[in-house]
């Protein structure tokens, strides 16, 4: 390379480096400003942390059970045994079962509605362009409002209990899954649809045979993921009275039944982890089988 060419490359390189450096400084600057602004807004400062940590420690030690290693397997009258810690186990088990069913029902309802609506909110296959805009905005709205807000409204309308929770989670799920399904539909290859149309098939046939077989693995995968999320949602929706184990948890926290708090939280953790693991196994199996 001649000297001139080398000089040109070097100067280009150093100017690029300069721009890169300027960008980095800008980003760091923005981050610092945001950090400072946020900290002021929230009152996030050292003294708050220092004061709060021991209180947190206190609270945690209060809710942890006082299990005595010698008495662990004794009966439910003996303080220090597991049975004493979980004396309300039957109630928790029933509520967990209810929570699980809430998630099943709402995920199913959300899945069916989202699937139907996703055919209208996918630009490439919607039968009516005005319908497309309307359904798309509608689904965005459903998804944007947090479930718990719906739950408050539905508790107001339907009364306290799991029905309100199911409605709330179903509606939010419809929005969330609808958006994902529409994206999958928009990315699908339309050859089979063309074939069905060339046979004289109507729009329904095109959707059923042209689109559904292609999107099924993704759709099921997203639904199972959503089920995992909905289990979590079902556990806490009871905080506003919409049923499930959340209602009980809210109660014991507010009444300071300390050891029951840890008992319930532990059960929730176990349930969520169990569902996560089984759901990912089922997902792998289904995607694998469908791709065979």
Partner 1 sequence: MAHLEINSLVKKFAKTKAINGISLKIFDGEMVGIIGKSGAGKSTLMRLINRLIEPTSGSITYNDIEITALKGKNLREWRSECAMIFQQFNLIDRLDVLTNVLSGTLGINFKILKLFKFYNKREKIEALTYLNNFELSDKALQRVDTLSGGQQQRVAIARAMMQNPKILLADEPISSLDPKNSKVVMDDIKRINNQNGITVICNLHSLNIAKQYCDRLIGLSEGKIVFDGNPSSLTNELAEQLYDLENE
Partner 2 sequence: MTDKDIISLCPRAFQPIWKRSPIVFTGFIFFVSYFLFCLYLFDFSVSKIVIGFSNMKPVLTAMVTWKDFFNWNFSSIFSGLAQTLGMAFLGTFLATLVCIPISLIASKQFFKISIIRFLIKRLLDIIRGVDILIWAIIYVRAFGLGPFAGLLSVFTADLGTLGKLFSEAIDNADTKQIEGMKATGASKIAVIRFGLFPQIFPIFISQSLYFFESNTRSAVILGVVGAGGIGLQLTERMKAQYWDQSLFIILLILIMVTIIDTISRIIRMKIINE
What is the torsional sign of CA 245, 246, 249, 255?
A: negative
Return the one option of partner 1, partner 2, none that residue 204 interacts with (CB less than 5 to 8 A, by type): partner 1
| Contact by Cβ (8 Å): 278, 271 | no
| Contact by Cβ (8 Å): 243, 97 | no
Asked if 96 interacts with partner 2 (CB under 8 A), we say no
Site size for partner 1 (CB under 8 A): 21
Asked if 273 interacts with partner 2 (CB under 8 A), we say yes
For residue 2, the minimal CB distance to partner 2 (Å) is 31
Return the one option of partner 2, partner 1, none that residue 12 interacts with (CB less than 5 to 8 A, by type): none
Return the one option of partner 1, partner 2, none that residue 216 interacts with (CB less than 5 to 8 A, by type): partner 1
For residue 105, the minimal CB distance to partner 1 (Å) is 23
- State the binding string over 131-160 for partner 2 (x if CB under 8 A, else -): ----------x--xxxxxx--xxx-xxx--
Q: d(Cα 288, Cα 282) in Å, to the nearest integer? A: 10
Asked if 35 interacts with partner 2 (CB under 8 A), we say yes
174: part of which helix (H) or strand (E)? helix 162-186
Pick from 89, 133, 209, 239 the residue near partner 2 by CB under 8 A.
Answer: 239
Pick the closest to residue 218 from 226, 206, 228, 230 (CA basis): 226
Pick from 126, 230, 235, 247 the residue near partner 2 by CB under 8 A.
Answer: 235
Q: d(Cα 15, Cα 9) in Å, to the nearest integer? A: 10
Pick from 196, 233, 237, 267 the residue near partner 1 by CB under 8 A.
Answer: 196
Asked if 162 interacts with partner 2 (CB under 8 A), we say yes
Pick from 209, 239, 250, 257 the residue near partner 1 by CB under 8 A.
Answer: 209
Return the one option of partner 2, partner 1, none that residue 162 interacts with (CB less than 5 to 8 A, by type): partner 2
Asked if 55 interacts with partner 1 (CB under 8 A), we say no
Return the one option of partner 2, partner 1, none that residue 290 interacts with (CB less than 5 to 8 A, by type): partner 1
Largest CA distance in the chain: 92
Enumerate binding residues for partner 2 (CB under 8 A): 31, 34-35, 37-39, 41-44, 48, 52, 55-56, 58-59, 98, 101-102, 104-105, 108, 141, 144-149, 152-154, 156-158, 162-163, 166-167, 232-233, 235-236, 239-240, 249-250, 253, 265, 268-270, 272-273, 276
Enumerate binding residues for partner 1 (CB under 8 A): 191-192, 194-202, 204-205, 208-210, 213-214, 216, 290, 292
């Amino acid at each position: 390379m001649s000297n001139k060419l080398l000089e040109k490359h070097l100067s280009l390189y150093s100017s690029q480096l300069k721009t890169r450096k300027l960008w980095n400084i800008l980003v760091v600057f923005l981050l610092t400003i945001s950090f400072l602004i946020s900290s002021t807004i929230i009152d996030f400062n050292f003294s708050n942390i220092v004061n709060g940590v021991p209180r947190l420690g206190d609270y945690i030690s209060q809710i942890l059970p006082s299990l005595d290693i010698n008495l662990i397997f004794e009966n439910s009258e003996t303080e220090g045994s597991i049975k004493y810690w979980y004396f309300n186990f039957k109630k928790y088990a029933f509520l967990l079962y209810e929570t699980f069913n809430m998630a099943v029902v709402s995920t199913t309802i959300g899945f069916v509605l989202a699937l139907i609506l996703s055919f209208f909110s996918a630009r490439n296959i919607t039968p009516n362009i005005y319908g497309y805009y309307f359904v798309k905005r509608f689904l965005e709205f459903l998804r944007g409002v947090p479930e718990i807000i719906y739950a408050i409204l539905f508790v107001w309308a339907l009364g306290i209990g799991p029905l309100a929770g199911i409605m709330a989670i179903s509606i939010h799920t419809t929005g969330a899954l609808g958006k994902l399904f529409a994206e999958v539909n928009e990315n699908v290859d339309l050859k089979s649809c063309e074939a069905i149309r060339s046979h004289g098939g109507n729009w329904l046939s095109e959707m059923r045979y042209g689109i559904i077989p292609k999107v099924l693995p993704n759709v099921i995968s997203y639904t199972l993921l959503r089920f995992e999320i909905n289990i979590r949602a079902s556990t806490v929706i009871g905080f506003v009275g919409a049923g499930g184990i959340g209602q009980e948890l809210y109660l014991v926290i507010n009444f300071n039944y300390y050891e029951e708090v840890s008992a319930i939280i532990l059960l929730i953790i176990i349930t969520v982890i169990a569902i996560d693991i089984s759901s990912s196994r089922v997902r792998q199996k289904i995607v694998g089988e469908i791709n065979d």
